[in-house]
């Protein structure tokens, strides 16, 4: 994978609209799982590429500081050589004075070269710094998006489990519907009602038999009374005849 492709994926993934992608998915949970895996892999690739880019920037910065420091040192050497030449020339030693002036020129040439290299590196460092900042921002956006994806996936899983639990409860409620004549509860209720009716019928039958017995006793009492009166009547008549 080249840096350009990694950087392009950083930009594309960081700008991805999660909701729009989910709307077109047949199974959002499966898609989110895949997206989380893709994002995690892309973040790892991006971190490696960005680390290399930052490393290159730091090398440029190191070279720049070395060039600046070298230019400063060569400038100091040129100044020292020039002063030494002036001292020798004042002392009447023109030959040695010329040698130190030549050394000063060499040092100045080295100073100019170092300054040129430092100046050339400045725009490269500025451009590379801007690129690194953009990549860091893109990487942070990807990590934020990854957190959103993980949260969305967990939310969907929770909602799916809740829906499944509700469906299970509804199925259970339907299976014990007391108003359903085909349900087991209704069948048991009907059986119990029949048993209760049978007991009531037996009770009524027992009560009816007892009433009949009491009615027989009443009839027997009336017959006995009739016989007694008849006997008394006969006894009264016999006494009247005797008189």
Tell me, yes or no, whether 194 and 126 share the same domain.
no
150 plus 199 within the same structural domain:
no
Q: Count up the domains in the chain and report the number.
A: 2
Among 148, 175, 202, give the residue marking a domain's end: 175
Last residue of a domain, one of 156, 175, 194: 175
Q: Do 169 and 183 belong to one domain? A: no
pTM beyond 0.85: the answer is: no
Q: For residues 21 and 132, state if they share a domain.
A: yes
Tens of pLDDT, residues 139-161:
888 888 888 888 888 887 788 78
Same domain for 137 and 193, yes or no, is no
The CATH number of whichever domain residue 93 belongs to comes to 1.10.287
What are the Cα distances from residue 73, in Å, to 67, 70, 233? 10, 5, 171
Residues with Cβ < 8 Å from 71, sequence gap 6 or more?
111, 114, 115, 118
pLDDT of 64: 95
What domain range includes position 223? 177-243
116 with 55, same domain? yes
Same domain flag for 70 and 122:
yes
Residues 158 and 225 both lie in one domain: no
Task: Determine which of 14-28, 102-116, 205-219 has the lowest per-residue pLDDT on average.
Answer: 14-28
pLDDT in tens, 15-42: 556 555 555 556 667 777 877 888 888 8
Sequence-distant contacts of 38-41: CB under 8 A, at least 24 apart: 38/13, 39/13, 39/142, 39/145, 39/146, 39/149, 40/146
Domain termination residue (choose one: 155, 175, 195): 175
């Amino acid at each position: 994978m080249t840096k350009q492709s990694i950087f392009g994926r950083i930009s594309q993934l960081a700008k991805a609209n999660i909701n729009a992608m989910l709307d077109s998915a047949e199974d959002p949970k499966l898609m989110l799982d895949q997206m989380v895996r893709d994002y995690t892999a892309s973040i790892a690739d991006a971190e490696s590429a960005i680390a290399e880019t930052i490393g290159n920037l730091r090398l440029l910065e190191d070279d720049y500081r070395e060039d600046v420091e070298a230019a400063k040192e060569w400038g100091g050497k040129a100044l020292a050589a020039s002063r030494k030449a002036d001292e020798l020339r004042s002392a009447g030693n023109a030959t040695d004075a010329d040698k130190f002036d030549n050394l000063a020129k060499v040092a100045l040439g080295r100073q100019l070269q170092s300054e040129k290299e430092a100046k050339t590196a400045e725009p490269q460092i500025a451009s590379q710094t801007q690129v690194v900042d953009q990549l860091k921002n893109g990487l942070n956006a990807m990590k934020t998006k990854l957190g959103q994806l993980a949260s969305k996936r967990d939310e969907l899983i929770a909602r799916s489990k809740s829906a499944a639990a509700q469906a299970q409860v509804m199925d259970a409620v339907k299976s014990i519907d007391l108003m359903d004549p085909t349900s087991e509860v209704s069948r048991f209720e009907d059986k119990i009602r029949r048993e209760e009716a049978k007991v009531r019928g037996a009770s009524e039958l027992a009560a009816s038999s007892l009433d009949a017995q009491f009615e027989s006793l009443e009839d027997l009492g009336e017959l006995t009374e009739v016989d007694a009166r008849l006997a008394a009547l006969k006894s009264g008549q016999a006494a009247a005849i005797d008189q």
